[in-house]
Chain A
Amino acid sequence: MARSTTTKQKIGWTIIVWTIALAIFFPVIWTFLTSFKTEGEAIANPPVFFNFDWNLDNYKIILAGEANYPKSLMNSIIIALGSTLLGLVFAVPAAWSMAFQPGRWTKDILMAMLGTKMMPAVGVLMPIYLFLVWIDLLDSRIALVVILMMMNLPIIIWMLYTYFKEIPKDILEASRMDGASLRGEILYVLVPMAIPGIASTMLLNIILAWNEAFWTIILTTTSAKPLSAFMVEFSTKQGLFYAQLSAASVMAIAPILIMGWFSQKQLVSGLTFGAVK
């Protein structure tokens, strides 16, 4: 039966959805506005929205300061991309075996992997921290790449598994008949067919790794510090400078926001994966 929607209902829903969307997005808008205020205007009561003296001083201070934005930006890119690519190297074969050669325990392994995401990260903080001290990799990008990869691996495997499940088994069997080795089967047949799925998995993981703040803040000090840790510096050094912190935040989230904006389509299909068959 077709549902009929009246104009009134449409207007009502539009208002409700816009209100919710604005409420969710408000902190981002507020941060953006605050980044152009002076420190005084930033904490003014009642708050000022648009009628303040717009200026770029906060951005200048940050770029001139010792925090070294370009270096943190580079670290963020390397850590987010590196952990995602490394994750794929492990996740593609894992998801292949779970999707096409499931064993008796496959479902349980998948659940157990997801279970690890439910546990508090702080539970493994001590051993990981001490281990990194021991192998002298504290405050190194390679350590963060590996740790973030491991943290996100369950999600990567789950997403790829769901995509792979939708690829007809016949086609992989045909490639086996055609003489493809396991490597050939995955590289020439499975991966090219799963490109859309792999792309959305990559995007989501880059965002997750970019926004990761627990491990990046604790395990870095200067040389491997990504943007998440870069932001934190403005809230601790000489007290709390809201305007400067806002400018730092805008600069930290801008790259990922822009990337997210341009890849909306892939992201939505990635986030709703498996929802529609």
Chain B
Amino acid sequence: MGNIVLKQVVKRFGEAEVIPPLDLEINDGEFVVFVGPSGCGKSTLLRLIAGLEDVTEGTIEIDGKEVTYAPPAQRGLAMVFQSYALYPHMSVRKNIAFPLKMAGVAQEEIDKKVEHAASILNLANYIDKRPGNLSGGQRQRVAIGRAIVREPSAFLFDEPLSNLDASLRVNMRQEITDLHRELDTTMVYVTHDQVEAMTMADKIVVLHAGVIEQVGSPLELYREPRNRFVAGFIGSPKMNFIEGPAAEKHKAHSIGVRPEHFEVVKKGGDFKGVVLSAEHLGSDTFLRVKMDDGQEILARGSGDVVVNYGDTVALKVEGKIYKFDDQGLAI
């Protein structure tokens, strides 16, 4: 079980309201990602669920039990920190065994569980080393090991991959996704990286200034963003926003077109402009185009598009045009 319900949760630090009244439901077994720019309150929200911060108002329920004021240990959750937060004076074995020792589990049982976790996470060779002698990826595995031995009702991850280098990050992303499938336990994952959010999540919660902008599956958010913020945040490269006459033609304050929804054409097209830069990646070509009215567009063409700086190109929209009103809400 790992059902988490937040009702009208508010968090204030002194006068500053970091999280205005917020409702959220996380279902058992779901992989939920909180995503948003830094300072949007996603980590605070996670820490409220963990019990590391006190809720100012509202209630938190885990598995139907109110835990708003329960200490972290009594919530049945496990957390993996950005800094790994391993105990530097303990070996890997002792690090992983620590939560079991605190719970008063018998030594035999501890040994068995630690061995099991170490084998799942490929840590058997390092089991007697201290964290200081491990690489970043290995440390992260130890941190995950320490979390899984508790058999928590949900895992909380606070930007666990941001200290790793790019290639390792991709591997660990896959490992965490596999782990989720294997354990079938609720996972709540915080990141500022929308690619991580898109690739890992069953459900994404987009946060902005403490407010939930939208909740949905990755493709829902990609296809049906509720507002300009979500539209711009989800998807890489970012969606183009065009204002002025081109938007008015669609009876909107602004329109949005994703870079991958443009096609470079010889004649006609919806937009015309001069190429500011062309990045030929082989598989794709990214064009930065300056339109006649001065607005810039980023378009992704196929790999065989050959244009250069200064060329004039025409772009045709081969996909959805998103329309937004003057408040930034999707029409």
A171-214 contacts to B (CB < 8 Å): 171, 173-181, 184, 188-189, 192-193, 195
Contacts of A170 in B (CB 8 A): 81-83, 85
Cross-interface CB contact of A173 among B81, B87, B99, cutoff 8 Å: B81
- B31 smallest CB distance to A (angstroms): 19
Cα distance, A160 to B150, chains bound together (Å): 32
Is B62 on the interface with A (CB-CB < 8 A)?
no
Q: A174 and B88 in contact (CB under 8 A), knowing A179-B99, A179-B103, A180-B102? A: no
Is the beta-carbon distance between A178 and B150 smaller than 8 angstroms?
yes
Contacts of B81 in A (CB 8 A): 170, 173-174
- B232 smallest CB distance to A (angstroms): 31
- B130 smallest CB distance to A (angstroms): 12
Is the beta-carbon distance between B72 and A177 smaller than 8 angstroms?
yes
Cα distance, A179 to B98, chains bound together (Å): 9
Cross-interface CB contact of A171 among B77, B79, B85, B99, cutoff 8 Å: B85
Is B249 on the interface with A (CB-CB < 8 A)?
no
Is the beta-carbon distance between B89 and A168 smaller than 8 angstroms?
no
- B83 smallest CB distance to A (angstroms): 5
Inter-chain residue pair count (beta carbon < 8 A) = 62
Contacts of A176 in B (CB 8 A): 52, 71-73
Contacts of B88 in A (CB 8 A): 171, 193
Cα distance, A180 to B71, chains bound together (Å): 10
Contacts of A168 in B (CB 8 A): 83, 85
Cα distance, A179 to B86, chains bound together (Å): 14
Cα distance, A254 to B86, chains bound together (Å): 43
Contacts of A189 in B (CB 8 A): 87
Is B146 on the interface with A (CB-CB < 8 A)?
yes
A189, closest chain B residue (CB): B87
Is the beta-carbon distance between B89 and A192 smaller than 8 angstroms?
yes
Cα distance, A181 to B102, chains bound together (Å): 8
Is B78 on the interface with A (CB-CB < 8 A)?
yes
Cross-interface CB contact of A174 among B77, B85, B89, cutoff 8 Å: B85
Contacts of B82 in A (CB 8 A): 170
Is B50 on the interface with A (CB-CB < 8 A)?
yes
B158, closest chain A residue (CB): A170
Cα distance, A8 to B150, chains bound together (Å): 66
Is the beta-carbon distance between A171 and B87 smaller than 8 angstroms?
yes
Cα distance, A179 to B103, chains bound together (Å): 7
Contacts of A181 in B (CB 8 A): 73, 102
Is the beta-carbon distance between B73 and A177 smaller than 8 angstroms?
yes
- B36 smallest CB distance to A (angstroms): 21
- A164 smallest CB distance to B (angstroms): 15
Is the beta-carbon distance between B87 and A177 smaller than 8 angstroms?
no
Contacts of A171 in B (CB 8 A): 85-88
A172, closest chain B residue (CB): B85
- A202 smallest CB distance to B (angstroms): 18
- B296 smallest CB distance to A (angstroms): 41
B82-111 contacts to A (CB < 8 Å): 82-83, 85-89, 98-99, 102-103
Cα distance, A98 to B56, chains bound together (Å): 22
Cα distance, A12 to B133, chains bound together (Å): 44
- A69 smallest CB distance to B (angstroms): 41
Q: Mark A241-265, 1 if CB is under 8 A from B, else 0.
A: 0000000000000000000000000
Contacts of B77 in A (CB 8 A): 177
Cross-interface CB contact of A178 among B52, B83, B89, B99, cutoff 8 Å: B99
Q: A180 and B89 in contact (CB under 8 A), knowing A173-B81, A174-B81, A175-B98? A: no
Is the beta-carbon distance between B89 and A193 smaller than 8 angstroms?
yes
- A199 smallest CB distance to B (angstroms): 14
B146, closest chain A residue (CB): A178
Cα distance, A170 to B102, chains bound together (Å): 18
Is the beta-carbon distance between A173 and B98 smaller than 8 angstroms?
no
B52, closest chain A residue (CB): A173
Q: A177 and B78 in contact (CB under 8 A), knowing A168-B83, A170-B83, A184-B102? A: yes
Contacts of B89 in A (CB 8 A): 192-193, 195
Cross-interface CB contact of B87 among A175, A179, A195, cutoff 8 Å: A175
Cα distance, A171 to B98, chains bound together (Å): 12
B259-311 contacts to A (CB < 8 Å): none
- B164 smallest CB distance to A (angstroms): 16
Contacts of B86 in A (CB 8 A): 171, 174
A→B interface (CB under 8 Å):
168, 170-171, 173-181, 184, 188-189, 192-193, 195
Give the 6 A-B CB pairs with smallest separation, nearest first.
A178-B99, A174-B85, A170-B85, A179-B102, A179-B73, A192-B89
A174-B86, A179-B103 known; 7 new pairs, CB 8 Å cut-off, are A173-B52, A173-B72, A173-B79, A173-B85, A175-B98, A176-B71, A193-B89
What would 8 A/B residue contacts be, using CB atoms closer than 8 Å? A171-B85, A174-B81, A176-B71, A177-B99, A178-B98, A178-B99, A179-B73, A181-B73
